[in-house]
Amino acid sequence: MKNDINWNFDNTYSRLPEAFSEKINPVKVKDPKLILFNETLAQNLNLNFSELNQSELSALFTGNELPKNSNSIAQAYAGHQFGHFTMLGDGRAVLIGEHLSQNNRYDIQFKGSGKTAFSRNGDGRAALGPMLREYIISEAMHALNISTTRSLAVAKTGENVIRETTLEGAILTRVASSHIRVGTFQYIAARNKKDELETLFKYVIKRHYPEIESSRNKALDLLKSVLEKQIDLVVNWMRVGFIHGVMNTDNMSIAGETIDYGPCAFMDIYDPKTVFSSIDKLGRYAYCNQPIITKWNLSRFAECLIPLIDKDHDKAVKLATEMIDTFEIKYEEKWLSMMRNKLGLLGTEEKDKSLILDLLTWMHQNKVDYTNTFCHLMNLKIKEDNIYKNNDFINWKKRWKERSLSHNNSEEKHKKLMKSVNPLIIPRNHIVENTLKEANQGNLKPLNNFLKILNNPYNEQANISKYQVSSNPSENYQTFCGT
Ligand code: AMP
Ligand code: MG
């Protein structure tokens, strides 16, 4: 393998105690073929693949040829899946190493790379459609300014995977600040070895939260930092109508990135109870439950930290509980602030909450598109919709206009604020599905066009109206796990 790509590996996680991971290489694939490559991300990582030809790139992005100084591992972790504790681990992924670039450390991981010690009954593989879907949605999230893992490449394996039907296999190259999850702490905590827990704890502080190195109670401050990161994240999800779909504790990143794009999807028509995941029968991970579940997951994280918070167990529980109980107030504050931004309001007023809730209730009762309503409020030319001539809405708008003028707001400030947080474009379900259908038939053009448009969600672009049409709710969109 050519070395001039500029890989700069320093694989600290693989040097942690044996129990943390399995040393394993990706399983070689039959006929590698690169089909998507993220040039911009490669440049951000200071990587240069321009000297490689197609077959070398394909071998690289399937793991058939590993870069020098990589050191592949499958990470061990546990997790609460729909509330039930399970031992998990990377069953179909390997971390090939940590790449250093401009003082940042990036995990480079292959997803769909074959069986590991943690595969249980799975085949260790992934199908092309779901890997392309992760690429589309994670890159869309990044462009929406939401903290997320990224996608560097998708390559076909030339092998079939058997799901409900026979599908083409593929590998996604995922880039993350790390793949340490709440579930990683749960796995180590369950092993009941204090030295291992301390090792993970120190590692995480050094890697992700060095600012608390000098704290008096580092464990409590770690809990606080992760709690605040997760609140920021979920508030951002709520902002754009993103539904993660499988917020198990193994899918919650300690670094605060959106991770594990399985059954996730965006809400079109505003309905707080929206669920897309076929297995989420009770709506545990519905749009409106995301903050509550975030708090639930953080409580599981807090439990792992108890022995590190205080030697006195009862005192540690008390401190952790008090910290977890700050969630509601902090969330409410950040959510209100986000919604004020969406409405272009400056300052804070007592009546803001009812103004916001009245708009959401109106959208819900009238089955109106969430994203497009904010576009309408920004006076953007989206397809004429008679719903906005509704009297209740017009009356609401009068209240909103009046409130918008307060706190020395100007037309310019108001517009600029709204523009910075209200996307014109989200990855709408029917478009995602259509582009994937085309891609599965070998036509990548619609997918590449779509990626370009998703890359610039806050600005007007030519010919985007077809991407702004709400999905038809009667089509009952469903998404799936473990694909
Ligand atoms: P997820 O629903 O993607 O968070 O996956 C939950 C667990 O199942 C993780 O430990 C995955 O590694 C594992 N898993 C998912 N799909 C497969 C597969 N095809 N083969 C092996 N393990 C898998
Ligand atoms: Mg997962």
Cα 176 to ligand 1 centroid, rounded to whole Å? 18
Looking at the predicted structure, is the pLDDT value of residue 446 above 60?
A: yes
Q: Which residues surround ligand 2, an ion (CB under 5 A)?
A: 251, 260
Nearest ligand atom owner, CA of 86: 1
Nearest ligand atom owner, CA of 483: 1
Q: Is the CB of 260 under 6 A from ligand 1?
A: yes
- How large is the average pLDDT for residues 13-27? 98
**C-alpha to C-alpha distance for 130 and 306, rounded to whole angstroms:** 38
**C-alpha to C-alpha distance for 283 and 417, rounded to whole angstroms:** 33
44 class by beta-carbon count within 10 Å (0-12 exposed, 13-18 middle, 19+ buried): middle
**C-alpha to C-alpha distance for 240 and 238, rounded to whole angstroms:** 6
81 bridge partner residues: 84
Pocket test for ligand 1, best of 73, 119, 167 (most atoms within 8 A of CB): 119
The protein residue with its alpha carbon nearest to ligand 1, atom 15, reads 482
- Cβ atoms 12, 98 nearer than 8 A: yes
Nearest ligand atom owner, CA of 169: 1
The protein residue with its alpha carbon nearest to ligand 1, atom 5, reads 482
User: pLDDT band at residue 1, thresholds of 50, 70 and 90?
Assistant: low
84-118 as b/e, with b when 16 or more CB fall inside 10 Å? eebebbbbbbbbbbbbeeeeebbbbbbbbbbbbeb
- How large is the average pLDDT for residues 101-112? 97
Q: Is the CB of 88 under 6 A from ligand 1?
A: yes
Q: Is the CB of 123 under 6 A from ligand 1?
A: yes
**Quick one: which atom of ligand 1 is closest to the CA of 161?**
19
User: Considering just the CA atoms, what is the radius of gyration of the chain in Å?
Assistant: 23
**Quick one: which atom of ligand 1 is closest to the CA of 126?**
19
User: pLDDT band at residue 384, thresholds of 50, 70 and 90?
Assistant: confident
- How large is the average pLDDT for residues 442-446? 98
- How large is the average pLDDT for residues 66-75? 97
SS (H, E, C) 257-287: CECCCCCCEECCECCCCCCCECCCCCCCCCH
**C-alpha to C-alpha distance for 35 and 441, rounded to whole angstroms:** 13
pLDDT at residue 471 in the model: 87
**C-alpha to C-alpha distance for 177 and 108, rounded to whole angstroms:** 9
Q: Is the CB of 183 under 6 A from ligand 1?
A: no
Per the structure block, which two tokens stand in for 25?
Answer: 């290489």
The protein residue with its alpha carbon nearest to ligand 1, atom 17, reads 122
pLDDT at residue 367 in the model: 96
Residue-wise pLDDT tens digits, 232-249: 999 999 999 999 999 999
Cα 222 to ligand 2 centroid, rounded to whole Å? 22
360 class by beta-carbon count within 10 Å (0-12 exposed, 13-18 middle, 19+ buried): middle
Residue 232 CA: distances (Å) to CA of 151, 191, 216: 22, 31, 25
Mean pLDDT over the full length of the chain: 97
Q: Is the CB of 89 under 6 A from ligand 1?
A: yes
Nearest ligand atom owner, CA of 172: 1
SS (H, E, C) the chain: CCCCCCCCECCCHHHCCHHHEEECCCCCCCCCEEEEECHHHHHHCCCCCCCCCHHHHHHHCCCCCCCCCCCCEEECCEEEECCEEEECCCCCEEEEEEEEECCEEEEEEEECECCCCCCCCCCCECEHHHHHHHHHHHHHHHHCCCCECEEEEEEEEEEEEECCCEEEEEEEEEEECCCCEHHHHHHHHHCCCHHHHHHHHHHHHHHHCHHHCCCCCHHHHHHHHHHHHHHHHHHHHHHHCEECCCCCHHHEECCCCECCCCCCEECCECCCCCCCECCCCCCCCCHHHHHHHHHHHHHHHHHHHHHHHCCCHHHHHHHHHHHHCCHHHHHHHHHHHHHHHHCCCCCCCCCHHHHHHHHHHHHHHHCCEHHHHHHHHCCCCCCCCHHHHCHHHHHHHHHHHHHHCCCCCCHHHHHHHHHHHCCCCCCCHHHHHHHHHHHHCCCCHHHHHHHHHHCCCCCCCCCCHHHHCCCCHHHCCCECCCC
pLDDT at residue 382 in the model: 79
> Beta strand pairing status for 104-111 and 78-81?
unpaired
Nearest ligand atom owner, CA of 182: 2
- Residue 473 or residue 58, greater confidence: 58
Cα 186 to ligand 1 centroid, rounded to whole Å? 17
Cα 181 to ligand 2 centroid, rounded to whole Å? 9
Cα 46 to ligand 1 centroid, rounded to whole Å? 30
**C-alpha to C-alpha distance for 65 and 68, rounded to whole angstroms:** 9
Provide the residue count of the chain: 483
Q: Is the CB of 92 under 6 A from ligand 1?
A: yes
Looking at the predicted structure, is the pLDDT value of residue 97 above 70?
A: yes
Q: Is the CB of 217 under 6 A from ligand 1?
A: no
Per the structure block, which two tokens stand in for 291?
Answer: 């903050």
Residue type present at position 287: Y
Residue 392 CA: distances (Å) to CA of 360, 362, 369, 397: 12, 8, 16, 9
- How large is the average pLDDT for residues 454-478? 93
Cα 178 to ligand 2 centroid, rounded to whole Å? 13
Looking at the predicted structure, is the pLDDT value of residue 421 above 90?
A: yes
153 bridge partner residues: 37, 173
Cα 104 to ligand 2 centroid, rounded to whole Å? 24
- Cβ atoms 146, 240 nearer than 8 A: yes
291 class by beta-carbon count within 10 Å (0-12 exposed, 13-18 middle, 19+ buried): buried
- How large is the average pLDDT for residues 427-438? 98
Per the structure block, which two tokens stand in for 127?
Answer: 């199908």
The protein residue with its alpha carbon nearest to ligand 1, atom 1, reads 482
| Catalytic annotation present for 314 | no
Cα 288 to ligand 2 centroid, rounded to whole Å? 21
Q: Is the CB of 223 under 6 A from ligand 1?
A: no
Q: Is the CB of 79 under 6 A from ligand 1?
A: no
Q: Is the CB of 125 under 6 A from ligand 1?
A: yes
Catalytic residue among 90, 107, 250, 260: 250
Residue ranges of domains in the chain: 13-176, 182-483
Cβ atoms within 10 A of the Cβ of 209, count? 19
The protein residue with its alpha carbon nearest to ligand 1, atom 3, reads 482
pLDDT at residue 120 in the model: 96
Q: Is the CB of 251 under 6 A from ligand 1?
A: yes
Q: Is the CB of 134 under 6 A from ligand 1?
A: no
User: pLDDT band at residue 381, thresholds of 50, 70 and 90?
Assistant: confident
- How large is the average pLDDT for residues 361-383? 95
Per the structure block, which two tokens stand in for 339?
Answer: 């919604």
Cα 482 to ligand 2 centroid, rounded to whole Å? 8
